[in-house]
Amino acid sequence: MAAALVTGTAAGHVKFVKGSAGLGDPYFPQAGNGGYDARHYAIEFRYKPKSNFIRARTKILATATENLSRFDLDFRHLGITSLRVNGKKASFKRKGQELKITPRQGLHKGKPFTVQVRYRGHPRPVTDPDGAADGWIPTDDGAFVASEPQGAPSWFPCNDYPTDKATYAIQATVPKGKTVVSNGALVSRATHGKHTTYKWREGSPMATYLATATSGKFDVTRSKANGILSYDAVDPREAQASVEPLAQIPAILRLFGPRFGAYPFGSTGATVDHAPGVGYALETQTRPLYETAPNALTVAHEIAHQWFGDSVSLKRWRQIWLNEGFATWAEWMWQEHEGGKNLSKRFAELYSTPASNKSFWNPPPGNPGGAKNLFDGTIYVRGGMTLEALREEVGTQTFFRILKDWTRDHAYGNAGTEGFIKLAEADSGMDLGHFFDEWLFKKGKPRNWGSSALRQDHVAARGTNAPASAAPAHLGAIGQLRLSPPAPRAAP
Ligand SMILES: [Zn+2]
């Protein structure tokens, strides 16, 4: 009460500022906005797949982190029919992806506010610096919605940066016979006349790029996967090829849980579309999205992202190896678990790639060098090799302690490469500065990263043609871990 009185009487003296148009990411300077924290998105839309026409309303609940006279949202192309802040009409201007909003009254630091935007039009994807399309991608029966790194504003106004996570309620109406698959749990599905409305809810904090509302013809099955509520939505054209890989989901969760920490979300599953032109799958939160039937390796990769990328998200896009290197390493672990190639052997084989193969070794995963290199092969492969080299350096038990501490310490939040290095040093008691410098930041083939001469000799030997069975004694095979019963889940 006292605070309200002070604010009331001192209102004339409060200095209001404009929220910044970006959050300073060197790769995507316009991404995200300053001055507020989005807490919840309520997105409602009607979609006509035939004409790719959307009519939508997005309501954002946010908290001001500065006294704001103006603030931006990220929003692309679609036509705005009304915009209200705290229920009152607000004026706005648009410039590229920036939607600049001037509320009637200044917004006070620390206070919640709402923004409601009504809009319509033909949503279209965003072309990324590497040439890929992301965001709202129309298909022959609906839309494939995958927004990494900058496609979210192609279908809803938002604070488009991974550090501003929020909860989501997504309600979508489509012609009867079509399905909308989104994140989290299906709250309701109701058919009225010629339309069906789907209401989805994701109650765990989620980055904008991980939100989806993919539509088309899907057969949805609801089940429990390793005790977790699971929805598999499959385009009938991909049904046959999806059976075997999706059947692996419980086993993948069983392998990852004891090693990465308890599964971070309330639901899981898969959405398998028939959109072969897209060219990638995405770890949309709780329910990865596949352009066509995936193989089990890809399923393992996207599920690993639920810990590495979705729950623990990067702070800057250049730290993308924290997502892709980890998911790639997890994929290799899954393969070994399934009787495939042993991790040490795989590492040795990859490491034998000659230094003259510059595109195999560059750019270094910790510094992609630009937005167009965000998803280069090295981010995945050399990123995954970095983790395997780390496992060989610190030993398997310590390695998994590092991974579990990482997912626990930063659950539902954000963390960067520096934080990972510090954690690995703290958990291992080793000075790993040189190690990570070689693997993450130096151009060219890493050499002599080990803490002992013995390790260097060993890797040098295996790098040529020595058998992988020469793995050092302290390493402990992943295979040994899998023979023991799953570790009990840590208390949350
Ligand atoms: Zn990935």
What are the domain boundaries of the chain? 19-217, 226-312, 314-483
Report the alpha-carbon distance of residue 413 to residue 334 in Å, rounded: 26
Residue 357, phi then psi, degrees to nearest 5: -80, 80
* Cα 472 to averaged position of ligand 1 atoms, centre (Å): 30
- Which residues, other chains included, contact 298 with Cβ-Cβ below 8 Å and sequence gap of 6+? 245, 281, 290, 331
* Cα 290 to averaged position of ligand 1 atoms, centre (Å): 12
Question: What percent of the chain stands above pLDDT 90?
Answer: 88
* Cα 301 to averaged position of ligand 1 atoms, centre (Å): 6
Do the domains 19-217 and 314-483 sit in the same CATH topology, yes or no?
A: no
Please report which confidence band the pLDDT of residue 11 belongs to, taking 50, 70 and 90 as the band edges: low
* Cα 286 to averaged position of ligand 1 atoms, centre (Å): 14
The CATH number of the structural domain formed by 19-217 is 2.60.40.1730
Tokens of 194: 């010629």
Cβ pair 230, 184 in contact under 8 A? no
Output the average pLDDT for the chain.
91
Please report which confidence band the pLDDT of residue 471 belongs to, taking 50, 70 and 90 as the band edges: very low
Query: pLDDT at residue 69 above 70?
Result: yes
Residue 156, phi then psi, degrees to nearest 5: -150, 145
Report the alpha-carbon distance of residue 491 to residue 411 in Å, rounded: 14
The model's pLDDT over 163-193, given as tens digits with 9 standing for 90+, comes to: 999 999 999 999 999 999 999 999 999 999 9
* Cα 297 to averaged position of ligand 1 atoms, centre (Å): 11
Cβ pair 78, 123 in contact under 8 A? yes
Question: What percent of the chain stands above pLDDT 70?
Answer: 89
Please report which confidence band the pLDDT of residue 474 belongs to, taking 50, 70 and 90 as the band edges: very low
* Cα 149 to averaged position of ligand 1 atoms, centre (Å): 12
Tokens of 417: 């490469």
- Fold held by 226-312: Zincin-like (3.30.2010)
* Cα 50 to averaged position of ligand 1 atoms, centre (Å): 31
* Cα 180 to averaged position of ligand 1 atoms, centre (Å): 23
What does the DSSP 8-state code read for residue 158? B
Confidence (pTM): 0.91
Tokens of 122: 């033909």
pLDDT at 297: 98
Enclosing H/E stretch for 206: strand 195-206
Residue 127, phi then psi, degrees to nearest 5: -90, 125
What does the DSSP 8-state code read for residue 439? I
pLDDT at 454: 40
* Cα 311 to averaged position of ligand 1 atoms, centre (Å): 14
Q: What is the mean pLDDT of residues 423-446?
A: 97
* Cα 3 to averaged position of ligand 1 atoms, centre (Å): 47
pLDDT at 452: 52
* Cα 10 to averaged position of ligand 1 atoms, centre (Å): 51
* Cα 116 to averaged position of ligand 1 atoms, centre (Å): 33
* Cα 327 to averaged position of ligand 1 atoms, centre (Å): 6
Cβ pair 373, 363 in contact under 8 A? yes
* Cα 16 to averaged position of ligand 1 atoms, centre (Å): 41
What does the DSSP 8-state code read for residue 218? -
What is residue 378's three-state secondary structure? Answer: helix
The model's pLDDT over 91-130, given as tens digits with 9 standing for 90+, comes to: 999 999 999 999 999 999 999 999 999 999 999 999 999 9
* Cα 330 to averaged position of ligand 1 atoms, centre (Å): 10
- Which residues, other chains included, contact 347 with Cβ-Cβ below 8 Å and sequence gap of 6+? 385, 388, 389, 392
* Cα 308 to averaged position of ligand 1 atoms, centre (Å): 9
The model's pLDDT over 227-285, given as tens digits with 9 standing for 90+, comes to: 999 999 999 999 999 999 999 999 999 999 999 999 999 999 999 999 999 999 999 99
- Which residues, other chains included, contact 123 with Cβ-Cβ below 8 Å and sequence gap of 6+? 52, 54, 77, 78, 135, 136, 138, 143, 154, 155
Query: pLDDT at residue 482 above 50?
Result: no
* Cα 155 to averaged position of ligand 1 atoms, centre (Å): 22
Q: What is the mean pLDDT of residues 280-298?
A: 98
Q: Distances in Å between the alpha carbon of 119 and those of 58, 75, 200, 346, 462?
A: 8, 10, 20, 51, 59
* Cα 404 to averaged position of ligand 1 atoms, centre (Å): 19
Closest CA to 109 of 70, 66, 61: 66
Q: Distances in Å between the alpha carbon of 423 and those of 314, 385, 400, 405, 439?
A: 15, 18, 12, 8, 16
* Cα 253 to averaged position of ligand 1 atoms, centre (Å): 17
* Cα 200 to averaged position of ligand 1 atoms, centre (Å): 24
pLDDT at 385: 98
Residues with CB under 5 A from ligand 1 (ion): 324, 327
Tell the CATH superfamily of the 314-483 domain: Neutral Protease Domain 2 (1.10.390.10)
Where does 395-477 have alpha helices with state H?
A: 396-409, 417-428, 433-436, 453-464
Residue 46 burial (C-beta neighbours within 10 Å; 0-12, 13-18, 19+): middle
Cβ pair 269, 232 in contact under 8 A? yes
Query: pLDDT at residue 62 above 50?
Result: yes
* Cα 477 to averaged position of ligand 1 atoms, centre (Å): 24
What does the DSSP 8-state code read for residue 182? E
Ramachandran bin of 421, using left for φ above 0, alpha for ψ from -120 to 50, beta for the remaining angles: alpha
> How large is the angle between the packed helices 396-409 and 417-428, nearest 10 degrees?
130
What does the DSSP 8-state code read for residue 416? -
Query: pLDDT at residue 352 above 90?
Result: yes
